[in-house]
Structure 1
Amino acid sequence: MRLFGYARVSTSQQSLDAQVNTLRTHKVWKNRIFTDKASGSTVDRPGLDMLKVKVEEGDIILVTKLDRLGRDTADMINLIKEFDQMGVAIKFLDDGISTEGTMGKMVITILSAVAEAERARIMERTNEGRTQAKAKGVRFGRRRSLDRKAILELHQNGVGATEIGKRLKIARSSVYNALGESD
């Protein structure tokens, strides 16, 4: 029996250190810890793929939390089945559960559904927040580029920089920059 570890965070800005340190305290060798910086909503992850190649019958995979392995219930069930068919068990350290035995698999299936529901709620709250922000006038996305042609046309018609800025909803300094670039 060999111990392997798996750690995942959703974005490249997040740190894997806490998860890796936890796995190390459970005697998982550094070269047997596989990591990903990717969403848990997909199973297409290089670290997870490499882990699947390395484990053999009788091995145990340690994961700090259930949602670190995945967020989609169907994917989680398939992953658990795939490892089970290989004779590999998965233990979730924070939850204190394992895929060993029928009850462990049932609990993990239920918790996977809960993790997926939580992900859906997070997305729902995010979308609600965006909708509310848009209603308050917050604009998302890249700033629109300056319409230099419109700035020059207004300026040639005698409109001042402050008024051009108000009409085009841009800063007066942007008007001056655009006029300076046209020389």
Structure 2
Amino acid sequence: MQTILYVRVSTAEQTAAHQRTQAEKAGFRIDHVVEDEGVSGITIRLQDRPQGRRLFDMLRRGDTLVVRWVDRLGRNYADVTETIREFMKRGVVIRTVINGLVFDGATEDPMQQAVRDALIAFMAATAQAQAEATKVTQRAGIDHAKGRADAYLGRKPTYSRTQLETVRNLLEQGAGPSAIAAATGLQRQTIHRIRQNPTEAEAALARWEA
């Protein structure tokens, strides 16, 4: 039996090493890391990603698949739910670093199955909803920045694109400013500003990225 960490790195600021460090700090002993870099989780199914296909070939009954969160598998509801169920059919246990979720197909108790399947559906739907919300916020920020094209850029944001997305994801999951600050390396004041005005936070970043 082996424990495989799957990482999807969609931007230059994300790293496989960071996701592995997070997993190991959470207590996982990783045997192999499978990484897809620069791949969208919205438009490209896991099975269609170069290393995603390898993952399907590697995993066997009794193995454990570790992901930072279900959004690493994908941000499309149908794809994520189908992927998790396929792995469970094969006897693979899926575990997440964030929230410590466990998806195991071994249980035969109908109530446990119902709770598990409802949780899978909720997590997959959340991943897609977050992706769609991020696109809307980004669009609003870009439009806002364009509308102020002649204005002074203002102070450069102290957060990166990846950090901003991480803050939004953690806020949506109910994490507090202290926990988010520890996870991202940002100041609590920055977390509060992003939470109070996410559109302006996106706009400020967009102005400097333009």
TM beyond 0.5: yes
Q: Please give the per-residue CA displacement for 1:56-80, whole angstroms capped at 9, x wherever unaligned.
A: 1221111122222211111101111
Code of the aligned partner of 1:61? L
Q: Of the two, which has the highest radius of gyration?
A: 1
- The answer as to whether partners of 2:70 and 2:80 remain within 8 angstroms in 1 is no
**Aligned residue for 1:72?**
76
* 1:112 equivalenced with 2:113 (yes/no): no
Matches within 5 A, 1:50-65: 50-65=54-69
- The answer as to whether partners of 1:11 and 1:39 remain within 8 angstroms in 2 is no
* 1:95 equivalenced with 2:99 (yes/no): yes
Q: CA deviation at 1:87?
A: 1.8
- Matched residue of 1:87: which SS? coil
Structure 1 residue runs without a partner (length 5+): 139-183
**Runs of 4+, deviation exceeding 6 Å:** none
- The answer as to whether partners of 1:98 and 1:105 remain within 8 angstroms in 2 is no
Identity over aligned residues, as a percent? 29
* 1:6 equivalenced with 2:2 (yes/no): no
TM-score normalized by structure 2?
A: 0.59
Q: CA deviation at 1:131?
A: 2.0
| Whole-angstrom CA distance in 2 between matches of 1:7 and 1:14 | 10
**Aligned residue for 1:162?**
none
* 1:40 equivalenced with 2:41 (yes/no): yes
**Aligned residue for 1:136?**
148
* 1:83 equivalenced with 2:87 (yes/no): yes
| Whole-angstrom CA distance in 1 between matches of 2:60 and 2:101 | 21
TM-score normalized by structure 1?
A: 0.67
Q: CA deviation at 1:105?
A: 3.1
